[in-house]
Amino acid sequence: MKTKAADNYSKKIILSVVVVNYNGYKYVVKCIESILKSSFKGSEIVIVDNGSSDDVRLLKRKFGSIIGKKIKIVSLNKNFGPAYARNEGVRVSNGEYIGFLDNDTIVDKNWASEAIKIFKSDGKIGAIQCKLLLKNKKRSIDYVGEYIGQNGFLVQRAGTGELDNGQYDQIVEILAAKSAGMFITRKAFAKAGGFDPDYFIYVEETDLGWRTWLAGFKIVFSPLSVVYHEFGTSTIILGKSKNEYNSKFHGVKNYILTLIKNLDTPNLLRILPTHIMLWLGLAWYTLFRGSWNAFIYIHFGVIWNMIHLRRSLHKRMYVQTNRKITDSVLLNKIMKKRNIWYFISKVVNRKKVGNAESF
């Protein structure tokens, strides 16, 4: 039961910023400090620690005077993955709006205030993608939104490392926002059903974004809400082999699951078989390139969906029963067709090694 003091505290909170951390103390400290320096007032910071070795103790020592006031810490006993952890962060938060950041980000001082302006300008907007720039190359783009291609793979609006000359500085509708820097209203998060904990990591934001559209909201990119992202820290923290497992197994598993849940029946029957065949083709490509592990992990991702098909169909039934927009309308907004060589070139020449979302 909430106390009167707790109720008064929650009434002051407009924005809850949820940051998931796993053995990234040196990164998350800088992230927290940048949030505290930002211009937006009426926010709280929720750090969800995924079973780090010593980070909770260090954070409490570093920010002890504002722990329980400005900062909440949720300490999990093992690494449940970002999807589950973000849900736990939202569960203990109070804000009308929820911001998600990766622990290796630093925010611009007006990052939150610019996003809140957009939410207030249009009640149909459920989520906002920040402009993600590379922390070490601040004039270079990390991510500015995504669409879905005709074969079920993501189409990025900009390539990683592309120079930011203002060419994407318009508010536009996109498929989904990336949790390295995004906002969502509490209402939209609840109606969409939050993150699916079965995803563990990779594509979980795409799935949430898609379900947000289906729940009757829209998602836009905000060029004035800027976040700087230090790309590649997951490989440093987890190690190359673990990161490869996460990207290939969970990436493939989650891509397929996202299509099963969110496409209507005609589009599912049209897109899913080709999508799976392309994954299997990629598996053989990786084997010819000498990566036995990637070959196995991709197959495991496909097989997982066969084993768990009944549970996935239950999820699909709920999503489809409650959808507020048809695919004929939605895909016209969020699908960008590309020829097959676009996707092949991304696989062969991709810079974002280990990131399933780059396929």
- Whether residues 263 and 200 share a domain: the answer is no
pLDDT at residue 332, as a whole number: 96
Q: d(Cα 333, Cα 329) in Å, to the nearest integer?
A: 7
Residue 130 lies in domain: 4-234
Give the whole-angstrom CA distance, residue 347 versus residue 154: 12
Same domain for 17 and 131, yes or no, is yes
Alpha carbon 117 to its chain's center: 22
Give me the pLDDT at residue 28, please: 96
Q: 46 and 120 share a domain?
A: yes
180 and 57 within one domain: yes
Same domain for 161 and 261: no
Domain stop point among 185, 210, 234 = 234
Last residue within a domain, chosen from 234, 249, 277: 234
pLDDT of residue 351: 44
Considering the domain architecture, whether residues 90 and 157 belong to the same structural domain is answered as yes
Segment holding 127, helix H or strand E: strand 125-134
Within this chain, do residues 188 and 256 fall inside the same structural domain, yes or no? no
Question: Which token pair is 204?
Answer: 């979980």
What's the confidence (pLDDT) of residue 359?
47
Is residue 120 domain-shared with residue 30, that is, in the same domain?
yes
Q: Identify whether residues 318 and 281 lie together within a single domain.
A: yes
pLDDT of residue 84: 97
Residue with tokens 């990207």: 247
Longest Cα separation, the chain:
64
How many domains does the chain fold into? 2
Q: What is the pLDDT of residues 128-159, one digit of tens each?
A: 999 999 999 999 999 999 999 999 999 999 98
Q: What local confidence, expressed as pLDDT, does residue 354 receive?
A: 33
Q: Are residues 66 and 49 in the same domain?
A: yes
Which regions in the chain score pLDDT beneath 70? 1-11, 231-241, 344, 346-359
- For the domain that residue 89 is a member of, what is the CATH number? 3.90.550.10
Q: Which two tokens stand for residue 214?
A: 């289906």
**Helix (H/G/I), strand (E/B), else coil: 315:** helix
Same domain membership, residue 209 and residue 86: yes
Indicate whether 47 and 61 sit together in one domain: yes
| Domain end call among 234, 259, 290 | 234
**What digits encode the pLDDT tens for the residues 178-202?**
999 999 999 999 999 999 999 999 9
Of 12, 65, 7, 69, give the one whose Cα is nearest residue 42.
Answer: 12
Q: Give the pLDDT of residue 233.
A: 60
**Residue 242, pLDDT score:** 72
> From start to end of 213-317, where are the E strands?
218-229
Q: What are phi and psi of 50, to 5 degrees?
A: -90, 50
